[in-house]
Structure 1
């Protein structure tokens, strides 16, 4: 089984829930801001296989626009069946428009390096994708997309900005750089959960996704977000074709809550 597929779950941890185009009302205050950092322990078949770290970076300019870089780092541990992996994924989040301008992936898996850049086009209906393996020339392609499409990271952070409630259902277009699909989520319940951060009240969300290959879900995934205004993801459970994986939060540092000027009509 390919290491990339095994560790793909940790890579998507940076955003494993979804989008700004939800029918729920947006929260008056953003749930996160620059400086926020979350640490996770990732288990594969019940054994700790690695860690993931998700950080909201300082405001910066990307492609001429103001963005917050959301940076996900995934690291594997020395576990049987898991190759050495060190991945970095950066999603460029535009807070005012509640959208993603694009992303950069730097992957180092079993000594093989590759890069991928996705740049959403100004019309919002297509994306330029540049892929490059170490020692090879870059390959460019353009993909047509449904307007409002996000990457998985941006979709997660957009959901956190919503006023969630039990019974809500959401369905959003997601683009991974190779595949487009609709990710669906339902807020099923409020529960009490013991976490490394202490006892927390959480929303339990049932999630349907279509990653394909070894990441094909054998059953619906479950994602748990705190019910406080920050909606911090504290646990993710998934049973893929490659086996069962669980991500649990181990540490969280809040960021700066910043006033955000919303763009009119998503522009």
Structure 2
């Protein structure tokens, strides 16, 4: 697996393993997740175990003066199969009442090369400050216009988990990666039973369209499996990228503290 692609997949796992302004107007009396939730995944690349990923919903905190839940994804490669050493951390700062994100932090350590990326959504919600820095170099800053309500992949996925999923349902969310903006689309194709390491699970099968670039360019739509219970836990993701076929399979899951969340006012 090429190192420069790994953090992108870690973000996909975090998000899939999506909300526009309209999402902020939906009732969230019983959200699907809460602080303390943790999911573990085995990552397979070209049929071999290539590494692991862990997705955790952290304790409430302040970020840029706003109340958020940090959603943290950590991806590590398996040194035994000869891929470049990878240890990446992606943090999405989730605002539960508004169903939005206020930004994200990426810390990438790939084949001994370190880099950081910070995205901070500006107060108007229509632009984002992006700061990129490679180890030993001066940070590069830019401001990019975004659609109001834009999310990262993680935020979009966790917003989807809070939706009432139904077979035939279609969902679309604007996403910004720091380099590219696109619309992520998901359609619930079927309800079925899937064998997992945690036992048989009734799941929704979703077909997901995304527009990642470079080695994360999809050859075909991704397929994600979410449990049909109230948690809508992603238990399996299948993706065929330009770099090869990648599958994420859940190996462990601990629910978090699910609590009622006040909904943001309309138009907010």
Class of the TM-score when normalised by the shorter of the 2 chains:
over 0.9
How far apart, CA to CA, are the structure 2 residues paired with 1:254 and 1:215? 30
How far apart, CA to CA, are the structure 2 residues paired with 1:98 and 1:266? 13
Report how many aligned residue pairs link the two structures: 267
Q: Post-superposition shift, 1:259?
A: 1.7
Matched with 1:16 is 16
Matched with 1:128 is 129
Matched with 1:261 is 262
How far apart, CA to CA, are the structure 2 residues paired with 1:22 and 1:81? 46
Matched with 2:33 is 32
Q: Post-superposition shift, 1:11?
A: 3.5
SS at match of 2:188: strand
User: 1:17–1:185: 8 Å Cα contact kept in structure 2?
Assistant: no
Matched with 1:77 is 78
Matched with 2:49 is 48
User: What are the Cα deviations for residues 109-160 of structure 1, in whole angstroms up to 9, with x where unaligned?
Assistant: 0000001110001111100001111101111000000111000000010100
User: What are the Cα deviations for residues 162-205 of structure 1, in whole angstroms up to 9, with x where unaligned?
Assistant: 11000011121100001111111100000001111111100000
User: 1:75–1:85: 8 Å Cα contact kept in structure 2?
Assistant: yes
User: 2:40–2:52: 8 Å Cα contact kept in structure 1?
Assistant: yes
How far apart, CA to CA, are the structure 1 residues paired with 2:48 and 2:122? 41
Q: Post-superposition shift, 1:9?
A: 2.0
How far apart, CA to CA, are the structure 1 residues paired with 2:94 and 2:26? 20
The normalised TM-score by structure 2 is: 0.95
Matched with 1:5 is 5
Moved more, 208-217 or 72-81: 72-81
How far apart, CA to CA, are the structure 2 residues paired with 1:101 and 1:18? 15
User: 2:17–2:233: 8 Å Cα contact kept in structure 1?
Assistant: no
Quick check: 1:249 aligned with 2:255?
no
Q: Post-superposition shift, 1:2?
A: 3.2
User: 1:27–1:162: 8 Å Cα contact kept in structure 2?
Assistant: no
Change (3 A) 1:42 1:114: same
How far apart, CA to CA, are the structure 2 residues paired with 1:165 and 1:238? 22
Unpaired runs of 5+ residues, structure 2, are none
What is the root-mean-square deviation of aligned Cα atoms in Å? 1.7
Unpaired runs of 5+ residues, structure 1, are none
User: 1:49–1:82: 8 Å Cα contact kept in structure 2?
Assistant: yes
The normalised TM-score by structure 1 is: 0.95
SS at match of 1:123: coil
Runs of 4+ in 1 over 4 A off after TM superposition: 20-27
Change (3 A) 1:266 1:76: farther
How far apart, CA to CA, are the structure 1 residues paired with 2:242 and 2:223? 16
